[in-house]
Amino acid sequence: MFGEQKISYSGVQPSGNLTIGNYLGAIKNFSIYSEQYKTFYCVVDQHAITVRQVPAELRRRTYETLALYMACGLDPEKNTLYVQSMVPEHTELAWILNCFTMFVELSRMTQFKDKSTKHADNVNAGLFTYPVLMASDILLYQTDVVPVGIDQKQHVELCRDVAERFNQLYPDTFTVPEPVIAKSGMKIMSLADPTKKMSKSDENTNAVVYILDDRDTIIRKFKRAVTDSGAEIRYAADKPGVSNLISIYSCFTGKTVEEIEREFEGKGYGDFKLAVGEVTADALAPVQEKYRMLLADKAALEAQMKKGAEEASWYARRTLSKVKKKLGFVQLR
C-alpha cells in the first residue's frame, strides 16, 4: 500500500522471445489490476544479465518487451511501464536487503539450482542473489500483489520472509506482498516434453510457441506436440501432453475443462491439436498487429521508458529514503 493505494507489481526478463507461457502465466493477468490498483510492470534487464547476454540483443529485446506489454493490453496511461536499470534505487535496495537475506535461504531456491546446472560455467554471485534483487523490485513499491507463474512463487515467498524480518527489526517499513497465481495458465508446459516448463530459453524452438510466431508456425508446432498413449481428450495426471493442450485451449477460449472434454468427445488428437493451434493463432493475431505498430516507433517507446522511469522513481525514492533513515544512514537535505 502506498497511502490508500493498493499496488500490483511484476516483471519479465528481456532474455529471449516471449512465449505463450509468459503471456498466459503472467502478462495477460497484469491488466486485471489496472483499474483498481496502482500498477507497476517492469522490464527486468538487470535480472537478465545473471546469464550472459549479447548486448545488441539485450537492447533490442528491452524495446520489444516494453512494446509487448503494451500490445498485450497494458495502457501506459493506466500502468507504470518501465525498465529496471533506469531506476537505480532497485540495486541500491538490493545491497541493503542482501544483508537481511540468509545464505541458506538462497541456497534452497530451485531456480538457482536449475540455472546453475544449466550454466555450470557461469555460476556467478548475481545468479545466487537474483531473488534479493527481485525482492527489492517488489518492496520498493510497497506492493500488495505480485501476479506471476507458479515457478516464481518460491521467490515471492522469500521476499515475504525478508520483508517480515526487516519489519520486525524496523517496524512498518514494507508492505508484505502476496503472490497471485492464475488458476489456469500458471504453468504452461513444453510441447516436446510436457513434464518440463515451456521456457523462452529452450533450445528446441519447436517445444515453444512464441507470442510472435506466425499462424502457420503456431499450427505446425501444435500438430507436432507430444501427446500421450490412448486417444481420449481428457484432463488427467497420466496425460500430461493432452492436459497441457487442454489448459492452453481453456486459457484462450475461456471454456472450462469439462466443456472442452465434451466438445472433443469422440474426436481424435489430430482434430484437437488443430483446434488448439487455431484458437491460439486467432488470439495472438491482434497482439501481433499492435506490437508491430508499436515497435515501428522507437522514439515513442523511448518517451514511454522515460515517463515510466520518472513515475517509478518517485515511489522508489520514497521507500529507499525511509529504509535508509530506519537503518541509521546519514541523509543530507
Chain residues in the site for ligand LTN (CB under 6 A): 9-11, 13, 44, 47, 134, 137-138, 146, 148, 152, 155
The question of whether 197 is a catalytic residue gets the answer yes
Least distance to ligand ATP, CB of residue 18, Å: 8
* Of the candidates 69, 66, 56, the residue with the CA atom closest to the CA atom of residue 30: 69
- Out of 8, 9, 21, 41, name the contact with ligand ATP by CB under 6 A: 21
Report the SS3 class of residue 331: coil
Task: Report the C-alpha dihedral over residues 59, 62, 63, 65, rounded to 10 degrees.
Answer: 150
CA distance 176 to 145: 9
Question: Do 32 and 210 meet the contact criterion of CB atoms below 8 Å apart?
Answer: no
Among ligand LTN, ligand ATP, none, partner that 21 touches (CB below 5 to 8 angstroms by kind): ligand ATP
CB closest to ligand ATP, residue no: 25
- The neighbour count for residue 254, using CB atoms within 10 Å, is 8
Dihedral of alpha carbons 33, 34, 35, 39, sign: positive
Please give the radius of gyration of the chain, using alpha carbons only, rounded to the nearest integer.
21
Stretch touching ligand ATP by CB under 6 A, among 72-80, 145-153, 219-227, 229-237? 145-153
Among ligand LTN, ligand ATP, none, partner that 25 touches (CB below 5 to 8 angstroms by kind): ligand ATP
- Out of 57, 151, 157, 193, name the contact with ligand ATP by CB under 6 A: 151
Residue among 19 and 101 whose Cβ is closer to ligand ATP: 19
The question of whether 307 is a catalytic residue gets the answer no
Residue among 151 and 193 whose Cβ is closer to ligand ATP: 151
Nine cell digits for residue 150:
507458479
- Out of 7, 26, 219, 225, name the contact with ligand ATP by CB under 6 A: 26
- Counting contacts by CB under 6 A, is residue 197 touching ligand ATP? yes
- Helix or strand run (H / E) with residue 283: helix 269-296
Least distance to ligand LTN, CB of residue 159, Å: 8
What's the Cα-to-Cα distance from 224 to each of 209, 254, 273, 276, 281, rounded to whole Å? Answer: 12, 24, 9, 12, 16
- The neighbour count for residue 302, using CB atoms within 10 Å, is 12
Question: Do 16 and 52 meet the contact criterion of CB atoms below 8 Å apart?
Answer: no
Nine cell digits for residue 102:
540468509
Catalytic residue among 28, 115, 221, 273: 115
The question of whether 200 is a catalytic residue gets the answer yes
Least distance to ligand LTN, CB of residue 298, Å: 24
- Counting contacts by CB under 6 A, is residue 13 touching ligand ATP? yes
Question: Do 123 and 95 meet the contact criterion of CB atoms below 8 Å apart?
Answer: no
Stretch touching ligand ATP by CB under 6 A, among 21-29, 34-42, 161-169, 221-229? 21-29
Active site residues: 115, 197, 200
Binding site for ligand ATP (CB under 6 A): 12-13, 15-16, 19, 21-22, 25-26, 148-149, 151-152, 185-188, 197-201
